Amino acid sequence: MNKFFHKRLDDKLNELREKGTLKIQRHIDSPMDAEVLMEGKGEIIILSSNNYLGLSSDKSVIDAGVRALKKYGAGTASVRFICGTFTIHRELENEIAGFLKTESALTYVSCWDANMGSIPVMAKEGDAIISDSLNHASLIDGCRMSKAERVIYKHADMNELENCLKKVKNANTKLIVTDGVFSMEGDLAPLPEIAKLAAEYDAVIMVDDSHGIGVMGKTGRGTVEHFDLLGKIDIITGTLGKALGGGAGGFVASSRSVVDTLSQVSRPQLFSNGVPPTVAGSALQAIRTLESRPELVDKLRFNVVYFRNGLESMGFRPLESESAIIPIIIGETAQAIKISNALLGEGVFVTGFGYPVVPEGTARIRIQISAALDKEIMDKALAAFKKVGAKLGLL
Ligand SMILES: Cc1ncc(COP(=O)(O)O)c(C=O)c1O
């Protein structure tokens, strides 16, 4: 053991602890739901999970996972192309493609992998990637893995996007990469304007809609549905670890050519196992549940408006957004963490985010709304916000 190496890491952790910015992992002893049993805290209201539709603890979703586990076992114990794949993978991929109205879809063990594994394939040397400055870390890292030229446009700024497109006009493929719903702001990518520019400059669009699917659009098909662009976006990626069951897993939904190419050369497809059957079974059921119960999306939307109005009426000023993400900018990381801890003391779990997750000086608490919440629970949570807001001088 190199004790100096380990000590340097401990010193860094102690530094974070002293600054009050060390992240603490809470332990939960029950399924993810509107309320959970948190170790050492008791029953806590959850406003920090991506369980947007409340399907993580849905009986049919759990049962489907158990059935798949019993039928297929724990997994393939290998990479899919080496020893074959389960029929439930094909079923899930067909379901995703059908749901998002694309020709085909391919699953990965996470959306992180889907983004990292697909961007370097879609944009290579001689190509260009044009990326929103607030894109999710997995998109950023995926872009970094590519040998294409990379240019970044100011968040959602269409003049800058156009300038970037002009700058890379000689690239073979011009790939515009954006989140659908931006995870730390909650706002939507201006997809109609992006699509217009893409058509004008002969670019390809890739949207990561991890926070949009199950949330946006009349039937929960995401930001692309919200803007009436289903069938018109080249590549959609997303996670199965949020609204669609909340287990894990991600996907790329696109044309058959994109999906077949990724199956051939995308590195996580060639060198890593497929989604475990339990996860595939639960995610498949979650999509089917959403398709048969689109009213879950209406319930989520009602809850978002109810909670946002409640916060605003007591004097909080959250960022504007149409999604289920309601951020309140605090400023300093330590202060955001302090507010988060104070809310937890009142029985409400809301995470405080600081640098490097968000830019320095823009630390925030991020509230995430779920269809699993009912009015009584939301009122309890709002009362906690009022108490903490008054105590810490936020109102
Ligand atoms: C926009 C976005 N993309 C990708 C991911 C990664 O998803 P996964 O947990 O499936 O890797 C996240 C998760 O936080 C996300 O918010």
Active centre residues (catalytic): 183, 211, 242
Q: 136-152, pLDDT tens digit by residue? A: 999 999 999 999 999 99
Ligand 1 centre from 177 Cα, in Å? 14
Q: How far apart are CA 361 and CA 357, in angstroms?
A: 11
Residues 165, 203: contact at Cβ < 8 Å? yes
Closest CA relative to residue 211, chosen from 53, 365, 317? 53
pLDDT tier at 4 (50, 70, 90 boundaries)?
very high
Structure token pair of residue 60: 């049919």
Ligand 1 centre from 210 Cα, in Å? 6
For the Cβ of 174 lying below 6 angstroms from any atom of ligand 1, the answer is no
For the Cβ of 208 lying below 6 angstroms from any atom of ligand 1, the answer is yes
**Quick one: which atom of ligand 1 is closest to the CA of 179?**
1
Q: How far apart are CA 226 and CA 216, in angstroms?
A: 6
- What pLDDT is recorded for position 95? 98
Q: 263-310, pLDDT tens digit by residue? A: 999 999 999 999 999 999 999 999 999 999 999 999 999 999 999 999
For the Cβ of 127 lying below 6 angstroms from any atom of ligand 1, the answer is no
For the Cβ of 250 lying below 6 angstroms from any atom of ligand 1, the answer is yes
- State the average pLDDT for the chain: 97
For a substitution probing ligand 1, which of 56, 106, 111, 323 has the most ligand atoms within 8 Å of its CB?
A: 111
Residue nearest (by alpha carbon) to ligand 1 atom 12: 210
Distances (CA, A) of 246 to 106, 280, 285, 287: 18, 11, 12, 11
For a substitution probing ligand 1, which of 106, 138, 358 has the most ligand atoms within 8 Å of its CB?
A: 138
For the Cβ of 110 lying below 6 angstroms from any atom of ligand 1, the answer is yes
For the Cβ of 104 lying below 6 angstroms from any atom of ligand 1, the answer is no
Domains of the chain by range and CATH?
A: 20-49+294-391 (3.90.1150.10), 59-292 (3.40.640.10)
Q: How far apart are CA 253 and CA 225, in angstroms?
A: 14
Long-range pairs for 198-202: beta carbons < 8 A, 24 or more residues apart: 200/165, 201/162, 201/165, 201/166, 201/169, 201/174, 202/174
Distances (CA, A) of 312 to 183, 184, 386, 390: 21, 19, 11, 14
Ligand 1 centre from 136 Cα, in Å? 7
Residue nearest (by alpha carbon) to ligand 1 atom 7: 111
- What pLDDT is recorded for position 33? 97
Q: 27-61, pLDDT tens digit by residue? A: 999 999 999 999 999 999 999 999 999 999 999 99
For the Cβ of 285 lying below 6 angstroms from any atom of ligand 1, the answer is no
- What pLDDT is recorded for position 360? 86
For the Cβ of 107 lying below 6 angstroms from any atom of ligand 1, the answer is no
Ligand 1 centre from 223 Cα, in Å? 15
Closest CA relative to residue 135, chosen from 52, 243, 209, 240? 209
Q: How far apart are CA 375 and CA 389, in angstroms?
A: 20
pLDDT at 217 over 90: yes
pTM of the model: 0.96
Our measurement of the distance from residue 27's CA atom to the centroid of its chain's CA atoms, rounded to an integer in Å, reads 21
Distances (CA, A) of 156 to 42, 168, 178, 392: 41, 18, 9, 33
Ligand 1 centre from 314 Cα, in Å? 32
In this prediction, residues 66-87 reach a mean pLDDT of 96
Q: How far apart are CA 268 and CA 56, in angstroms?
A: 26
- What pLDDT is recorded for position 392? 93
